[in-house]
Structure 1
Amino acid sequence: MIDELQASKSCYFFRQRTPITASAIAALFRAVRRAQTSASNNFFSFSRMPHGEALWSSLCFQFDRTPTFLPGSDSVVDRITGYLLIVEYHGHIAIFKSQIDVTPEFAKRHLERVSPKEVDRGLTSKDSIFDRVRLRNMSLSRFALRSKTLEGDNLQNNVGMASSARFAPLGYSFREAGEHYSTTPRTGRIALRADRAGHIDLVDYACNIIDRIHPRPGRPSSSPFLSAFARPMELSELTAAPSQFAVDSAILKQAIFDDKIIRFVKPDGLGFRELPKAEVDTILDALTAVLAVTIGAAHKLVLSQPTTRAEVGEIAINKKRIALRRLMFPALSQVYVEDTQFGVGADNGRVLLKKFIDEQNAFIVLFNQPQFAYLDGSLYQDDSLVNGGALFLGYLFGNAELAHVVEEKGTFTTGHTMFDNDSTFGTILSTVAHEDNVIVCDDLGDEWADFIGFRTDPSAPRITFYHAKHGDLSLGASPFHVSVGQAIKNLGNLSLPASSMPKKYMRWRRLYTNNRIRTNISRTCRGTPADTQAAVEFCRNAPHTTKRVAIVTSSLSKTAVRQAFLDIAEGAPVDPYFVQLYWLLSSFFAACTEVGAFGCVICQE
């Protein structure tokens, strides 16, 4: 009956972890049959039959299964026919299946997943034409688009590469040399769009794919289309060595001070006391240290201070994740983390801060190859960090006036008629937003942005949301977490929804009040209320209106960012906080692109 088998050319590919024997196949087939109810006699059963350089094994039988839509029924059953076809070839295994599968014990002993990179490089080339791709956003922000699927006759012509590095392809289909393939690299599934085939043709198909994905030196890179995306990687694929470690203190700061979802406590007699801000700041300052990762005794990955080389902790690279084994800062002694939904000392699930950092994956690990980074519990590869950052720098615009800024909003009195010139607010009005015909201040309350600018040039209308920040010059991400979150959260308001505008018009007619001081600064900073309403209507209805979201900050220098990329390209150690900044802002730029807007940062030159 095996000669009557007709199945699609779709199967799962694995590396062979340990050799398969005839007794292993026999044990597998017995276990597969035992797992089913009322198994029939086998329609066919073959063990390790030769075909060229390959060996194939196959099993087919019937069994009873309760319908999924009648889970409580004992009297209604479906009679199911299932089959397995296992192909062994050149250290790889291909499995064709329907209704039955290999057992977990067999998979654990003999199968190892094929690297997604091997699938990409083996299957695709510069001649591949992609018509479907399923993507996952690598953003750390909860506001960013999580995933998307793109379809088109040739996505190379339809997909803007500017934000692609922030997405990882989870599956795709493409055409090449008259054949149409689809694959899910993370699972090893590869399918060819073709007529159903008999078992020998299926074996030949599996061998052909294995020949293509089999690792070999000198293999050309995968399709340029795929190389434009950043891809998550399995830790088992990592060839680089860890070199630096840092706790993601910005996440802790946000959880404590902004979101107020956790607190730090210490034992106090029979109970616990909440730590005041001064003590919390001391702990967080200690956690900002960038630690070196070196190989110590018994091949342990030791964390040490880069200057004193004093050992302060240990990490371990496991099969699925990187674990923080030890972290021994004096400031962390007896510090616990509690959930703020409980009263102080009432959270019986409190954990030591070190354990909390490990469980929440609140740390960054960098490697001696800077294209790799372990963030938020996953390993990623992004080659744009080592190519000079030209694309990233295109989103940064230097403004000389921001070098003279000393405050974000400035000071306020009842006599103020404009924002201070040495504030970020003042600089936006004086130089940054000079192309806008109308500009309003939407700061505080139900704000969409600190300022909203409208350019009403009939040939190039534009709406801009400006988010203002000030801080000391830094290449870290901390100054941007709040502003990026606020910017992404308000992307939907770029459409200027008509239902929200009456309240906005009333608000923009008022004078600006800050900290209970009512100034003489008009919220309509440029133009009149009538001009504002006309600008909103024109920009909303013009089909060619461009939308822009700008974070305006004195805390970043474009020159410093450019130099950081140059240093990385020349092989200098990578600052983990700069990597975090790069990834956070890249997520912001990508989120803007998803809604048809242009995200940018206006900073010091």
Structure 2
Amino acid sequence: MIENLEIGRSGYFYQRKRPLSNEAIEQLFRNLRAQTRHPSQNLFRIVRMQLGEARYSTISFSYERAPSFLAPEAGVSERVFGYLLIVEHGLHIALFKSGLDLTSSFKSAFLGKIASERVERAIARHDAVFEKLRLRNMSISPLALRSKTLEARDLENAVATSSASRFIPQGYSVRRPDGVYSATPTTGRIAVRSDRADVEAAVAWVAEISTLLRLEDGAVSGFIRNFARPLELTAIPPDVRPTFIGIDIMGLSDVLFSADDGVRLVRTGGDATEALSHTEAEAVLASLDQPFPIVTEGGVDQVRLDGGDAQVTTLRIGSTRIALRGLELPALVGISVERRDLPLGEDPNAMPLARYIDRENLFTVLFSDLALAYIDGSLFRDEALAGGGEAFLAHLHVEASLATADSEKGAFAADQVAFAPNSVFRSVVDAVANDDVLLCDDLGDEWADFIGVSTATSPTMISFYHAKHGNQSLSASAFHDSVGQAIKNLGRMSLPGSMLPNKLASWNDRYRNNGVQTEIARMIRGGSPDEIAAKLDAVRSAPDVLQRVFIVTSSLSRAQVEEVLAAASHGTPPTPHFVQLYWLLMSYFSACTEMGVRGYVVCRP
């Protein structure tokens, strides 16, 4: 029957941790049959057959499982056929599969991840033309765009790379003279577009890819080098320490709620096992949706609750991966993960949720070196930070009056016609916003604290201003609300025509706050209501309009940021709070770029 096997040239490639043996394969095959329901006799079964310089092992049989659209408790089964083909070549092991998968114990014992840069050298070489690219943001902020997929005949000529360094290539498809290849470095999957192959052709193809993966040098595509660069964990300098860890809530949600062949959360207690409802599962995820600071004491990287001293786990940074040693959170006690296609409580490979997060690399680690991030089981470097973070500093503008600001809006009186001196709002009106149309949109269904329109410039401009006051600090806490508001309203920067009539009516009024009706005009500059309406219509329909968003804050000093970044470029690690601030603002700048908007922070000198 093995001679009838036809499979695509699409496999998962791994670094071999230690040599396989006949007994290891025999035990794997026994375990595979033991963990399935009512397995049939094997269609074929071969253990470590020599073929050229490679060996292959394969097994195929049918078994019963619950249909994906019915609960296992319904007692209805369908019979499906599955197969595994394991190919050993040199230091690599390749896996082809359908309907069957390796056991977690086998993976842990024999398989390791192939470094992303090796996959790049093998697949994304200098003559590759990129046709498809799936990217993941380096930021752990929930406000940032998490991922995006790009497709074109030639992406290098179709994609702006202004924010590329903050994105990690998770998968790509390239056209080369020898064929169309695709790779997913995070999982080790490599494929080539071709006819289906028999066993001998599949093994020969594995040998070709294995040889490419062994290359120690080779030119990589210049296009892929625009994005965050993969590094070996051994490249982390000894004085660089981890500072924050964030759980990949979106990735975990996908396998819990979206994937047909996903997993479910269960609670075990005594002899009973019960599946968590959607609401209960969401509550578990909510407990994980926070940045966890890391404190290094006595050489141990302790993961703690944000703002407290309670330790929830520790990290172990090895030569090939970072391990998350459990998560001691009350919401996770007794919570395990099991396959959804098996009856409740009958998954032999069920494991605690914390262990599942570690095994699937569903976490991100940030470091005292701001350019580094460990994501999806690999270390990456953002080359945009080379030289002291000029790209970051370019987004920070200075306004001297913010250094003396003592409030956001100030107090209010009935006869007041302007915002209080020394308030951030007053700085926006008098110094920051130079637009010939300026509208106060604070309170109610606000898009920003102020909206500015410049009609005399070329190109014309639409600007949103978000004002915030606070004591001078390098903490991210002062920015969470402003960043959230700014990102949430990026889609309204085109001034949607259907919403403008209500907006114009609200602006044609005096400002009211804290129960005080003032005489402060909400239409601060621009002429009469009709003139302002005409200017808004003209600008919003202009084909070359430039959209800008500003977070105006008295809590940040550009000079202080420059000092920290300069020190970091010379080896002095920043504080964990600054790391969090940096990544929060980077998520804001990145979100603006994705929407075609220029994002800035206006701060004190």
Q: Please, what TM-score do these two structures have when normalized by structure 1?
A: 0.75
> What CA distance in whole angstroms lies between the structure 1 residues aligned with 2:193 and 2:51?
24
> What CA distance in whole angstroms lies between the structure 2 residues aligned with 1:22 and 1:580?
50
> What CA distance in whole angstroms lies between the structure 1 residues aligned with 2:51 and 2:241?
50
> What CA distance in whole angstroms lies between the structure 2 residues aligned with 1:323 and 1:40?
40
Is 1:228 aligned with 2:235? no
> What CA distance in whole angstroms lies between the structure 1 residues aligned with 2:594 and 2:19?
48
Structure 1 pair 379–58 and aligned structure 2 pair: CA distance change class (3 A): closer
Written as runs of structure 1 = structure 2, the 5 A alignment for 1:454-473 is 454-457=453-456, 459-473=458-472
Name the counterpart of 2:426.
Answer: 426
Cα distance, 1:30 vs. partner? 3.9
Matched to 2:14, the amino acid is F
> What CA distance in whole angstroms lies between the structure 1 residues aligned with 2:370 and 2:230?
15
Written as runs of structure 1 = structure 2, the 5 A alignment for 1:148-297 is 148-214=148-214, 216=216, 219=217, 222-230=220-228, 239=236, 293-296=296-299
Q: Deviations over 1:303-358 (max 9, x none)?
A: 99xxxxxx9979621576546999xxxxxxxxx99xxxxxxxxxxxxxxxxxxxxx
Q: Deviations over 1:534-569 (max 9, x none)?
A: 122122222322221111123323343333332222
Aligned residues, how many?
520
Q: How much identity, in percent, do the aligned residues show? A: 42
> What CA distance in whole angstroms lies between the structure 2 residues aligned with 1:395 and 1:11?
44
8 Å Cα contact 2:244/2:367 also seen in 1: no
Cα distance, 1:9 vs. partner? 0.8
**Counterpart of 1:13 in 2: which secondary structure?**
strand
Matched to 1:293, the amino acid is T
Name the counterpart of 1:94.
Answer: 94
Written as runs of structure 1 = structure 2, the 5 A alignment for 1:424-503 is 424-434=424-434, 436-457=435-456, 459-503=458-502
Cα distance, 1:487 vs. partner? 0.9
Matched to 2:55, the amino acid is L
8 Å Cα contact 2:186/2:376 also seen in 1: no
8 Å Cα contact 1:243/1:292 also seen in 2: no
Name the counterpart of 1:39.
Answer: 40
Cα distance, 1:425 vs. partner? 1.7
> What CA distance in whole angstroms lies between the structure 2 residues aligned with 1:479 and 1:382?
25
Residue segments in structure 1 that go unaligned for 5+ positions in a row: 249-287, 305-310, 327-335, 338-358
> What CA distance in whole angstroms lies between the structure 1 residues aligned with 2:47 and 2:17?
19
Name the counterpart of 2:315.
Answer: 317
8 Å Cα contact 1:243/1:366 also seen in 2: no
8 Å Cα contact 2:365/2:374 also seen in 1: yes
Written as runs of structure 1 = structure 2, the 5 A alignment for 1:5-16 is 5-16=5-16
> What CA distance in whole angstroms lies between the structure 2 residues aligned with 1:105 and 1:133?
32
Name the counterpart of 1:570.
Answer: 570
**Counterpart of 1:498 in 2: which secondary structure?**
coil
**Counterpart of 2:452 in 1: which secondary structure?**
strand
Name the counterpart of 1:342.
Answer: none
Of residues 573-582 and 118-127 in structure 1, the stretch that sits farther from structure 2 once superposed is 118-127
**Counterpart of 2:209 in 1: which secondary structure?**
helix
Cα distance, 1:421 vs. partner? 4.5
Q: Deviations over 1:423-472 (max 9, x none)?
A: 222222222221x1211101122211110001123842221110112333
Written as runs of structure 1 = structure 2, the 5 A alignment for 1:391-406 is 391-406=391-406
8 Å Cα contact 1:443/1:451 also seen in 2: yes
Cα distance, 1:505 vs. partner? 1.3
8 Å Cα contact 1:243/1:365 also seen in 2: no
Structure 1 pair 225–465 and aligned structure 2 pair: CA distance change class (3 A): same
Q: Please, what TM-score do these two structures have when normalized by structure 2?
A: 0.75
Structure 1 pair 416–168 and aligned structure 2 pair: CA distance change class (3 A): same
Q: Deviations over 1:231-255 (max 9, x none)?
A: 7999x8885557557689xxxxxxx
8 Å Cα contact 1:240/1:369 also seen in 2: no
8 Å Cα contact 1:487/1:549 also seen in 2: yes
Name the counterpart of 1:382.
Answer: 382
Larger Rg: 1
Residue segments in structure 2 that go unaligned for 5+ positions in a row: 246-290, 332-356, 358-362
> What CA distance in whole angstroms lies between the structure 1 residues aligned with 2:379 and 2:325?
13
Name the counterpart of 1:561.
Answer: 561
Q: Deviations over 1:120-159 (max 9, x none)?
A: 3443234332211122334444444333211112222222
**Counterpart of 1:495 in 2: which secondary structure?**
coil
**Counterpart of 2:162 in 1: which secondary structure?**
helix
Q: Deviations over 1:154-189 (max 9, x none)?
A: 222222222334433322111233421112222111
Structure 1 pair 62–230 and aligned structure 2 pair: CA distance change class (3 A): same
Name the counterpart of 2:525.
Answer: 526
Structure 1 pair 502–485 and aligned structure 2 pair: CA distance change class (3 A): same
8 Å Cα contact 2:88/2:94 also seen in 1: yes
Structure 1 pair 32–314 and aligned structure 2 pair: CA distance change class (3 A): closer
